[in-house]
RNA sequence: UGGGGCGUCGUCAAGCGGUAAGACACAAGCCUUUGGAGCUUGCAUUCGGAGGUUCGAAUCCUCCCGCCCCAGCCA
């Protein structure tokens, strides 16, 4: 990752690593991993984990593995492994040549299971799923031991082998760890470690009909890869005794599992289930809808990897459940875009302005700075002429206090061009202003006058004849409530009906004809935009508003109400 | 008395017995050829509550209160 990003503070995980390094627990070595299940798209919550794991690996000169946790063939697909790899790469985390799949370890995992059986620590159980649930007991009552719990090692070995050979139907038997049916921790009440699933696996095909469970697979995969610190989210905290149990019973290399609080964001949802529902029910156009908190959605919206990474380090790492204000994410975005976005002019809701004293048919080119934050980005020329368009919001016939824009008799600056003064308005039959007539001061070219007189407002504009038509999509938060998951109601009733507003008939300066996805622009006084990677074409440009500029005029208006 | 975790500003989050960092948000002001950006200032006498230990407690002890997770042959 780039080095100009803020140095993370010493969070509790780095403290643990520092301590392990001091005591030499792992010989000073640091190895982390990101272990996604390929059953969905990555979202902003995952980026916190990726940045944490990759960031730690970089900081301690260690290694970072990408390992797909693909132990459930009925839920996992190649499409997801491809998108996950693409997203992680785009984010900037590099697993180099360490791309692994838990399914690569199936043979070894099988051997470990056999070892457990031989130690008398695992047995084949013939109870049905319902019976197993019954025998498990409840949160407050202990469970009962399975009648199959004390089968002989020989019988278990034979049965397990036959499970592998495909002799039994799905759900008929399961291999269980023999631990403690009375444990207060339900995970320790003889958890299943292998189940029968006659299903095609996206990588191993039809080779297996038994598949290992998460708890058994994860710790051993970490062990096989010599991971030192296995970082996961809070809900796995009470799986840790089990993680440790398998490793201890098998006497193998033992990584340390550490849990941290997952990321929650206001005005959005993060669960895979809900995200999938939004896609399947058509509330959004797909996983990469620019309103989605998915990495694909954020990318299409115009977010940059730098902004996301910066955000990830600024939210910190701790164990307390928390919901970060989405304003922080947007702040990180603006902070990054402000430095790199090319400033251009586009009018979202055009209002025609005729400059009466400007020569008919004359077109001149005015020079515009591409980015005041970075003079190195140079300048460009923009056409100016007698008929231009400004923003409807920038004119008011009867302006309130503190309105610094155009109004009858008022003089304003056209950015990069001239001062104009409003002389007259033209209205339609229903009284709407459809055209404004102005005069300009030829001495104000470039935006200043010899007499040094000041104007309060500066407007963006486009020249009518040269402007190009574009479609602009404005986005707002997907939900109307800070926490759409609150009090168990149907989160779909909280969808923001105005999360997408499509504007057609927008006009942009000619240079935007060259706009391509992935390149950030600031539409002056409006916000940051990018060409839409899905729908923008050279003959039909479509721009997404990545995030609006902060708008203090909007605040004044709001305060006035 | 099922087990596991967590409670510091509106939201994140430092703090690790020596007298509450920082960020976002918010507010006021300056500046400005983007009402953008930038700059300045303000914003927890108090750390879930009550006791206790101590010269001194957000930090240690006790009790209480609140919130989150766990009863998939999901991860």
What is residue A561's predicted lDDT score, i.e. its pLDDT?
A: 74
Tens digit of each residue's pLDDT (9 = 90 or more) over A492-538: 999 999 999 999 999 999 999 999 999 999 999 999 999 999 999 99
Please, what are the domains in chain A?
A: 14-260 (3.40.50.620), 272-342+470-560 (2.40.240.10), 348-460 (2.40.240.10)
What is residue A1's predicted lDDT score, i.e. its pLDDT?
A: 40
A198 touches strand B (CB under 7 A): no
Q: pTM here?
A: 0.96
Shortest CA to C1' contact from A125: nucleotide: B73
User: CA-to-C1' distance for A13 and B57, Å?
Assistant: 26
A54-59, long-range: CB within 8 Å, 24+ apart, which pairs?
Answer: A54/A1, A54/A93, A54/A94, A55/A1, A55/A8, A55/A312, A55/A313, A56/A13, A56/A14, A56/A17, A56/A30, A56/A32, A56/A229, A56/A231, A57/A30, A57/A31, A57/A32, A58/A1, A59/A8, A59/A14
Shortest CA to C1' contact from A527: nucleotide: B36
What is residue A4's predicted lDDT score, i.e. its pLDDT?
A: 43
- Catalytic status, residue A262: yes
Alpha helices in A448-561 (DSSP H): 552-560
Q: Which residue positions in chain A have pLDDT lower than 50?
A: 1-4
End-to-end CA distance of chain A: 46
In chain A, positions 311-340 with C-beta closer than 7 Å to nucleic chain B are: 314-325, 327-328, 330-331, 334-335, 338
Count of C-beta atoms within a 10 Å radius of residue A453: 11
Tens digit of each residue's pLDDT (9 = 90 or more) over A66-104: 999 999 999 988 999 999 999 999 999 999 999 999 999
Q: Among all protein residues, pick the one whose CA is nearest to the C1' atom of B34.
A: A525
User: CA-to-C1' distance for A556 and B43, Å?
Assistant: 21
- Catalytic status, residue A37: yes
User: CA-to-C1' distance for A324 and B23, Å?
Assistant: 12
- Catalytic status, residue A15: no
DSSP β-ladder status, A419-427 and A411-414 = antiparallel
């Amino acid at each position: 990752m780039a080095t100009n990003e803020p140095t993370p503070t010493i969070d509790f995980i780095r403290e643990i690593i520092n301590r392990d390094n001091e005591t030499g627990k792992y010989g000073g070595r640091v190895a982390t991993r990101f272990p996604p299940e390929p059953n969905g798209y990555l979202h902003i919550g995952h980026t916190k984990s990726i940045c944490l794991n990759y960031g730690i690996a970089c900081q301690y000169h260690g290694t970072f593995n990408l390992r797909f946790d693909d132990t459930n063939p009925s839920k996992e697909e190649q499409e997801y492994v491809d998108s996950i790899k693409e997203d992680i790469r785009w984010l900037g985390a590099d697993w180099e040549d360490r791309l692994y799949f838990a399914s690569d370890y199936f043979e070894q995992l099988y051997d470990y299971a056999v070892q457990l059986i031989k130690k008398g620590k695992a047995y084949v159980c013939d109870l049905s799923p319902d019976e197993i649930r019954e025998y498990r007991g409840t949160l407050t009552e202990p469970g009962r031991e399975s009648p199959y719990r004390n089968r002989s090692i020989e019988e278990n070995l034979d049965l397990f082998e036959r499970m592998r050979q495909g002799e039994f139907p799905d759900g008929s038997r399961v291999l269980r760890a023999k631990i403690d049916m009375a444990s207060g921790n339900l995970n320790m009440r003889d958890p299943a470690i292998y189940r029968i699933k006659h299903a095609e696996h996206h990588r191993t095909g039809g080779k297996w009909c038994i598949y290992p469970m998460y708890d058994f697979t994860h710790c051993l995969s970490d062990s096989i890869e010599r991971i030192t610190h296995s970082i996961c989210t809070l809900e796995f905290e009470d799986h840790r005794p089990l993680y440790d149990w398998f490793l201890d019973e098998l006497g193998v290399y033992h990584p340390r599992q550490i849990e941290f609080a997952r990321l929650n964001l206001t005005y959005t949802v993060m669960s895979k289930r809900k995200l999938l529902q939004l896609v399947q029910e058509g509330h959004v156009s797909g996983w990469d809808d620019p309103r989605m908190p998915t990495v694909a959605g954020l990318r299409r919206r115009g977010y940059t990897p730098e902004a996301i990474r910066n955000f990830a380090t600024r939210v910190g790492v701790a164990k307390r459940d928390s919901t970060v204000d989405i304003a922080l994410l947007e702040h990180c975005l603006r902070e990054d875009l402000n430095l790199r976005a090319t400033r251009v002019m586009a009018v979202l809701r055009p209002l025609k302005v005729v400059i009466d004293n400007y020569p008919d048919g004359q077109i001149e080119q005015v020079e515009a700075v591409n980015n005041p934050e970075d003079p190195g980005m140079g300048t460009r020329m923009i056409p100016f002429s007698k008929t231009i368009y400004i923003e409807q919001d920038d004119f008011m016939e009867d302006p309130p206090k503190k309105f610094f824009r155009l109004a009858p008799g008022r003089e304003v600056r056209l950015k990069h061009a001239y001062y104009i003064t409003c002389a007259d308005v033209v209205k339609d039959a229903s009284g709407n202003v459809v055209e404004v007539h102005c005069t300009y001061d030829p001495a104000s070219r470039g935006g200043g006058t010899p007499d040094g007189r000041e104007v309060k407002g500066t407007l963006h504009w486009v020249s009518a004849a040269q402007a190009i038509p574009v479609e602009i999509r404005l986005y707002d938060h997907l939900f109307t409530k800070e926490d759409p998951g609150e009090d168990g109601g149907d989160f779909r009733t909280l969808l923001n009906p105005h999360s997408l507003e499509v504007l057609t008939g927008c006009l942009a300066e000619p240079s935007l004809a060259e706009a391509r996805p992935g390149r950030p622009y600031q539409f002056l006084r409006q916000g940051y935009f990018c060409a839409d990677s899905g729908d923008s074409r050279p003959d039909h440009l479509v721009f997404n508003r990545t995030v609006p500029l902060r708008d203090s005029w909007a605040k004044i208006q709001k305060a006035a109400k």
